[in-house]
């Protein structure tokens, strides 16, 4: 299922963005604590996006199992 690959790619992007923001939060924590807090909040939001995308993948897999049995290994590899 190409949609799972699409979702997996988006999950990876959200994780990269979360890491970028938390790195910025750590960098500016002492010098600019308010801005560092903003970066930390943005990181958490990106993780929330990742969780929503992950949930969508899980729901697709559950639906596939209900309709077709165990998913192909290729599908699970993408996941």
In percent, the amount of the chain with pLDDT more than 90 equals 81
Mean pLDDT value across the chain: 93
Using CA atoms, how far apart are residues 21 and 46, in angstroms rounded to an integer?
9
Q: At a CB cut-off of 8 Å and minimum separation 6, what does 58 contact?
A: none
Residue 17 has a pLDDT of 98
- Alpha-carbon separation of residue 64 from 8, 28, 52 (angstroms): 17, 45, 18
Helices (H), 1-79: 2-28, 33-68, 73-78
pLDDT digits (tens, 9 = 90+) for 37-68: 999 999 999 999 999 999 999 999 999 999 99
Question: 76 pLDDT exceeds 90?
Answer: no
């Amino acid at each position: 299922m190409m949609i799972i690959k699409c979702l997996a790619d988006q999950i990876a992007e959200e994780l990269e963005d979360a890491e970028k923001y938390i790195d910025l939060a750590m960098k500016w924590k002492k010098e600019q604590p308010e801005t560092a807090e903003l970066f930390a909040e943005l990181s958490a939001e990106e993780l929330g996006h990742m969780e929503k995308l992950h949930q969508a993948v899980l729901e697709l897999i559950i639906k596939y199992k209900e309709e077709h049995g165990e998913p192909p290994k290729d599908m699970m590899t993408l996941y």
